[in-house]
Structure 1
Amino acid sequence: MSQQPISLPAKLINGGIAGIVGVTCVFPIDLAKTRLQNQRPGQQVYKSMVDCLVKTVRSEGYFGMYRGAAVNLTLVTPEKAIKLAANDFFRHHLSKDGKGLTVLREMLAGCGAGMCQVVITTPMEMLKIQLQDAGRIAAQRSPGVMSSVKLVVPNPILTRSYNVAALPRPASAMQIARELLHTQGVQGLYRGLGATIMRDVPFSVVYFPLFAHLNRLGKPSLDQPPPFYWAFLSGALAGSTAAVAVNPCDVVKTRLQSLSKAGGEETYTGVVDCIRKILQKEGPSAFLKGAGCRALVIAPLFGIAQVMYFLGVGEYILENSPLSLMST
């Protein structure tokens, strides 16, 4: 177990492994969160998280719960690595002569980390949401017929690459990405960037200082680190708290990034228009849709990430890698 300062490559490995393990464990809950957030009053396909997962398995099979997981598993490594490493970088440069950071400086470090990660988070979420929500739209358009074949519906923006009439299979992330790049350029992949920043920057501002203070409470003494289970609990509690706090921004982001709409669903021109229409037609409670699911997703994800740091997994891998062994 390493208690020495962690190198940047080790931070990247720790964040990447934590992201992959966490996503694999909680992705079905994240899928339920997306589908619940996109439901409108009077057009509800799913009553709850459990109902959503049960209906997904029945209509799309077990692997239907992991629709869009490949996108996350591919991009979560750089995303989590950037987030955790950037926070450490900003904390280091904001500290004064090695002394502890003030709460304000901790929040500034978290803000910097959130701003850095959206470069990866936005396109990752954009592609993931199209795949996650396809089953809900198909079920809503054809009530009682939740066929695993018709998981992609026609969309005015992406008509050629994943129109149901043209393709018998659901679109892949690569098909969606190619069509977005062809029709809208790079900005197509960054649709909802403003809402993503609104979600991820406050999340990091809340999460990192809260984790640091919770983790400090578990120290047996000033010169000893807290036990690994305390690091997990601190990461989980801080993550779930921050997730619920920014859930309204996550709802807005999900709605803006959902390109395919079922009949009667609103379209939005931007963040302000989305907030206004949700308030008018669904009320303030709509901004809490999927909050429980999001807390259940984020808690283990960040708990695992902090355990990876505590155990020094990245350092161990680097020390025992073929290149390291050859150099010795």
Structure 2
Amino acid sequence: MEDFVAGWIGGASSVLVGHPMDTVKTRLQAGTGYRNTVDCILTMFKKEGVTGFFKGMSFPLASIAVYSSVVFGVFSNTQKFLIQYRYGESSESSSLSDLFLASMVSGVISVGLGGPVDLIKIRLQMQTEPFHKEDLHSKPRPKDLWNRPMYQGPIHCMTSIVQKEGLLGLYRGANAMLLRDVPGYCLYFIPYAIINEWITPDNNTTCSPYSVCLAGGIAGAISWGTATPMDVVKSRLQADGVYCNKYKGVMDCISQSCQKEGYKVFFKGFTMNTVRGFPMSAAMFLGYELSLEILKGDQTVTNP
């Protein structure tokens, strides 16, 4: 239970730190008219002010904390199960194969819980993008509604999607998310465990904030950087449907994006993904480890 509570606190910490950069990343990947990261930031600031960077944050703050709680809880408990199954003792340390299997299980679970959360977050982040009436695939909208937000908030966004597309509509882009998160979590938890163990002194029985932040930040940068190509596809599939429906699925999105913008399109937001991955993951792991240490009291904390 402590792992789930600590995961909740870590998730909330990561949202507070990383959401502004996440908004920029989403606009770069699924939006139009931005030359680069700096241009996107300046354009957003001029048009929407500081609040534009926090658009759609209320729902992730309330839900991603729960989502992270489950992911970290599943990861830690899967590790414990594998250790007990292999060795019959919970005191043994995890092997690389244990970390790999636990990471894969976490990745699968993350899609089931995080798919709807990510979809609503991206829809809210993207709804200020201009409506292009010349788009032949666009749904008809009156002129006076072109510059109005499609959704009034996260609840309205969710109910609108369910009404138009059914419950399965909440899992738009889930296949791309699965292809992103299963390897992504392997490159998240495994580097963290290895780096944290490497830089933590042997006689240190409690987590060092410095070690946790450094290891978590590096792991986050690696994970999000390598996940960028599939993250682009996922973001486009999930943003699709705010005003129009362009893509039929993962392969169609890859094909259309490549034909129109070339292979470089799959690295849109790479810099922002990598940069934001460091502070987000550092905050995530620090919140998790410190909370776990407090919750377990004098017990020794096992790094994930």
TM-score, with structure 2 as normaliser: 0.85
1:99 and 2:66 are equivalent in the alignment: no
Query: Given the superposition, is the C-alpha separation of residues 257 and 216 from structure 1 closer, same or farther in structure 2, using an over 3 Å criterion?
Result: same
Aligned with 1:308 (options 282, 287, 290): 287
Aligned with 2:232 (options 247, 251, 258): 251
**Deviation, structure 1 residue 258:** 1.1
Matches of 1:310 and 1:318, distance apart in 2: 10
Q: Is the 8 A contact 2:10 2:288 kept in 1?
A: no
1:191 and 2:172 are equivalent in the alignment: yes
**Deviation, structure 1 residue 125:** 0.9
Letter in 2 for 1:284: Y
Query: Given the superposition, is the C-alpha separation of residues 223 and 21 from structure 1 closer, same or farther in structure 2, using an over 3 Å criterion?
Result: closer
Query: Given the superposition, is the C-alpha separation of residues 135 and 212 from structure 1 closer, same or farther in structure 2, using an over 3 Å criterion?
Result: same
Matches of 2:18 and 2:272, distance apart in 1: 10
Question: Secondary structure of the equivalent of 1:46?
Answer: coil
Task: Indicate the residue corresponding to 2:119 in structure 1.
Answer: 126
Q: Structure 2 unaligned runs (5+)? A: 298-304
1:295 and 2:268 are equivalent in the alignment: no
Task: Indicate the residue corresponding to 2:8 in structure 1.
Answer: 16
Task: Indicate the residue corresponding to 1:70 in structure 2.
Answer: 58
Question: Secondary structure of the equivalent of 1:85?
Answer: helix
Aligned with 2:210 (options 201, 224, 229): 229
Task: Indicate the residue corresponding to 1:148 in structure 2.
Answer: none
Task: Indicate the residue corresponding to 1:147 in structure 2.
Answer: none
Q: Is the 8 A contact 1:215 1:226 kept in 2?
A: no
Letter in 2 for 1:255: R
Query: Given the superposition, is the C-alpha separation of residues 155 and 316 from structure 1 closer, same or farther in structure 2, using an over 3 Å criterion?
Result: farther
Query: Given the superposition, is the C-alpha separation of residues 167 and 225 from structure 1 closer, same or farther in structure 2, using an over 3 Å criterion?
Result: closer
Letter in 1 for 2:64: V
Letter in 1 for 2:267: L
Letter in 2 for 1:202: P
Matches of 1:61 and 1:29, distance apart in 2: 14
Q: Is the 8 A contact 1:256 1:274 kept in 2?
A: yes
Task: Indicate the residue corresponding to 1:271 in structure 2.
Answer: 250
Q: Is the 8 A contact 2:127 2:242 kept in 1?
A: no
**Deviation, structure 1 residue 266:** 7.8
**Deviation, structure 1 residue 77:** 0.9
Q: Is the 8 A contact 1:56 1:65 kept in 2?
A: yes
| Aligned residues: CA RMSD | 2.9
Q: Is the 8 A contact 2:225 2:270 kept in 1?
A: yes
Task: Indicate the residue corresponding to 2:17 in structure 1.
Answer: 25
TM-score, with structure 1 as normaliser: 0.79
Letter in 1 for 2:265: A
Letter in 2 for 1:93: F
**Deviation, structure 1 residue 296:** 2.4
Letter in 1 for 2:165: Q
Letter in 2 for 1:274: C
**Deviation, structure 1 residue 274:** 1.3
Deviations 1:171-211 (A, max 9, x none): 32211211111122210111111111111111111111111
- Select between 79-88 and 48-57 the one with higher mean Cα deviation: 48-57
Matches of 1:115 and 1:283, distance apart in 2: 30
Aligned with 1:114 (options 100, 107, 110): 107
Question: Secondary structure of the equivalent of 2:161?
Answer: helix
**Deviation, structure 1 residue 91:** 1.1
Aligned with 1:55 (options 43, 52, 73): 43
Letter in 2 for 1:237: I
Question: Secondary structure of the equivalent of 1:267?
Answer: coil
**Deviation, structure 1 residue 226:** 5.4
Aligned residues with identical type, % of pairs: 27
Deviations 1:140-161 (A, max 9, x none): 779xxxxxxxxxxx9639x79x
How many residue pairs match? The answer is 289
Letter in 2 for 1:307: L
**Deviation, structure 1 residue 224:** 3.4
1:156 and 2:139 are equivalent in the alignment: yes
Query: Given the superposition, is the C-alpha separation of residues 166 and 205 from structure 1 closer, same or farther in structure 2, using an over 3 Å criterion?
Result: closer
Q: Structure 1 unaligned runs (5+)? A: 1-7, 143-153, 320-328
Matches of 1:236 and 1:15, distance apart in 2: 16
**Deviation, structure 1 residue 299:** 1.8
Matches of 1:216 and 1:315, distance apart in 2: 16
Task: Indicate the residue corresponding to 2:160 in structure 1.
Answer: 179
